[in-house]
Amino acid sequence: MINKDPNHKHTYDAQGKMTCCSLEEKIDKKTGKPHVHSKNEAHNNEDGDDDDHEHSHDEEGESAWKIYLPAIISFALLMTGIAFDNWIKPAFFTEYVRLGWFIAAYLPVGLPVMKDAAKAIGKGEIFTEFILMTIATVGAFFIKEYPEGVAVMLFYAIGELFQSAAVNRAKRSIKALLDIRPDKANVMRNGTLTEVSPETVEIGEIIQVKAGEKVALDGTMQSAGSSFNTAALTGESKPSTIKEGEAVLAGMINVDKVVEIKVTKVFGESSLARILDMVQNAGSRKAQTELFIRKFSKIYTPIVVLLAVLLTVLPYFFVEQYVFSQWLYRALIFLVISCPCALVISIPLGYFGGIGAASRNGILFKGSNYLDLMNKVNAIVMDKTGTLTKGVFKVQEVNAVKNSKEEFVTMVAAVESQSNHPIARAIVEYAGDKVKNASVTDVEEISGHGLKASYQGAIILAGNTKLLKKFNIAYPTEVDAITDTIVVAAINNEYAGYITIADELKEDAKEAVSEMHKSIPKIVMLSGDKQSVVDKVAKVLDIKDAYGNLLPEHKVEKVEELKKDSKLVVAFVGDGINDAPVLALSDVGIAMGGLGSDAAIETADVVIQTDQPSKIVTAIKISKTTKRVVMQNITLAFAVKVIVLGLGAGGLATMWEAVFADVGVALLAILNAVRIQKMKF
């Protein structure tokens, strides 16, 4: 299997690995189902080491009140304590009772963070947000600023809950998207056909696939044969016939008759499991902005800790009336303000919000780095078949010489109704009810040429031009110049006309290309089809650069030519196995994943689940919006911190201002990031 990222690993049965503020979904290899962890279930450092969280929450396994109960208890005790301090002032609220009261308020939210701080120290990570919050809040208790100490930790916990809720919202969007994948299989057990979930089907069992159904699992054909829509797997629009003993792949659509297939791979190894794996690894592929902030915080945090220490100690040598508790309080404020939570939390959440918004729109980004890179794309190269076109046959033109078009179509369709070939089915479908009761006799199939039959007393020939040549029937020379697939016909040994059949453009293809022209200066179409067919499609779609007669290696050469221009960031959109090399080569590989091949989906960086070209434009819009929101969060966090840091060092800011500068800004940034998921694109 081709994989573009050399560091990307499939971890179906490994322990969950999750960076702070990201989503983790583990895949069960047998069932293909995700084992979902909530945001807080595991934190790890950037080298991927596991760190099981004792205060883990799983919102799917616990009721909401249990998750929010610690914060609710802490808030209630804090507000009661403040009321006792300032308004009620009961006699029993003495110094030791007061201390015990605020410790009781602190522990529900503070104890889990203190445990994280201890674990981080055990792993050699001294300067983390957990340690900063612990030092600042315990220090506040040391100088008897109990309400401030509780408030800082409480609001930090609330920020974490906000983040968890935002991540779970995006997670649900992704899971809802994945629910559209094949979810049933008709399996033969004990001589009875039973509809079951695909994950329960074992290797060697027989499944039945009806006409129009998608094959749910890989296997081998047990029936005599059938026609399958394999456009996404082969890059060809013409359906292929699969005979007994040949391989049938998950994602193919049976277009002919009921068939039986012997399963050769379990559900967990199908395209569904691979897509779930993409979701699992999306969090590990980080955008450059996100990576920079994490690296920056590793340098920034120890510096501000040192400054806080200096802010406590140095005034002793320069201030006449030095009061230790006063300067310690300022240093604690400085520490709370300096905590990089707003950046470390809101920026990954911004990108994850973009990934969640994309998933709701049928677009799957494999990582925030690709979401970031999509914002820079200024050249789009697209495959034709299966990407801009449907990959199915439709009647395009009817040319009748002697009869009316209606009579001609009825005669040809009557003869073609005796064939199961997809082209014949397209003509019959076009004719509609007119051929339901057609009386056709003496049907003879001439292999590789077409059909000969009697219809209403006339001898009808219907097939390709080789059929007419075989019977020495003259036909106009311009027929040979027609680019589309063609069915010619003769009545009583005289040429009667032709019907052209061609692949049909997707409904939103023209609109999609038109929208791309507004923001993308370079649009190219590549195809393995005839140049004349490609030119025809390009003219309709208004694409100036269109190349046909290309093998996969030729497509690679075209993209390599574009990439020689260092100013171009190239995205390639394709759907078939033959597109996998180009998807891997491009800066951003986009696969049409609804019916796309496993190879294309695996190699691509972005998967369009709905197969709609217009979603390419949507992906670009989401990437630009996400980048804008992330930059807003960075600007907000830095601006507020710089201002309040200065005020805190000068003794003009209290712990409450510090809470706003840290947790308040984090909450605002989280709300701003959540906004992405609610936008319409």
Encode pLDDT of 625-675 as tens digits. Answer: 999 998 998 888 888 888 887 887 777 877 778 777 777 787 788 788 878
pLDDT tens per residue, range 169-182: 655 655 554 444 56
Burial class for 432, CB neighbours closer than 10 Å (0-12, 13-18, 19+): exposed
In angstroms and rounded to an integer, the radius of gyration of the C-alpha atoms of the chain is: 33
pLDDT per residue as tens digits for the range 583-617: 889 999 998 865 555 666 677 889 887 788 999 99
Q: Identify whether 605 is a catalytic site residue.
A: no
Which fold would CATH assign to domain 368-388+506-604? Rossmann fold (3.40.50)
Q: Is the pLDDT of residue 4 over 50?
A: no
Q: What is the pLDDT of residue 425?
A: 85
Pick 11 or 611 by higher pLDDT: 611
Q: Across residues 192-200, what is the average pLDDT?
A: 90
The residues, any chain, with a CB within 8 Å of residue 229's CB and separated by 6 or more, are 239, 252, 253, 255, 391, 392, 595
Is residue 295 classed exposed, middle or buried when 0-12, 13-18 and 19+ CB atoms within 10 A define those classes?
exposed
> For residue range 28-50, what is the model confidence (pLDDT) as tens digits?
333 333 333 333 333 333 333 33
Record the pTM.
Answer: 0.62
Distances (CA, A) of 116 to 112, 120, 122, 140, 332: 6, 6, 10, 19, 20
> Does the pLDDT value for residue 102 go beyond 90?
yes
Task: Please determine, for residue 235, whether its predicted confidence score (pLDDT) is greater than 80.
Answer: no
pLDDT at res. 251? 67
pLDDT(13) > 70? no
Third-level CATH fold of 185-269: 2.70.150
Task: Return the pLDDT at 655.
Answer: 76
Q: What is 391-505's CATH number?
A: 3.40.1110.10
Question: Does residue 464 register a pLDDT over 80?
Answer: yes
Task: Please give the pLDDT value at position 44.
Answer: 36
For 481-534, how does the pLDDT look when each residue is reduced to its tens digit (9 = 90+)?
A: 887 878 999 999 999 999 998 888 999 999 999 999 999 999 999 987 768 778
- Residue 471 reports pLDDT greater than 90: yes
Going by C-alpha positions, the residue among 580, 606, 574, 426 that lies closest to residue 502 is: 426
Catalytic residue among 383, 503, 598, 611: 383
Mean predicted confidence (pLDDT) in 447-470:
91
Per-residue confidence at 167, pLDDT binned at 50, 70, 90?
low
Q: What is the pLDDT of residue 158?
A: 82
pLDDT of residue 335: 79
The residue extents of the domains of the chain are 64-175+277-358+623-678, 185-269, 368-388+506-604, 391-505
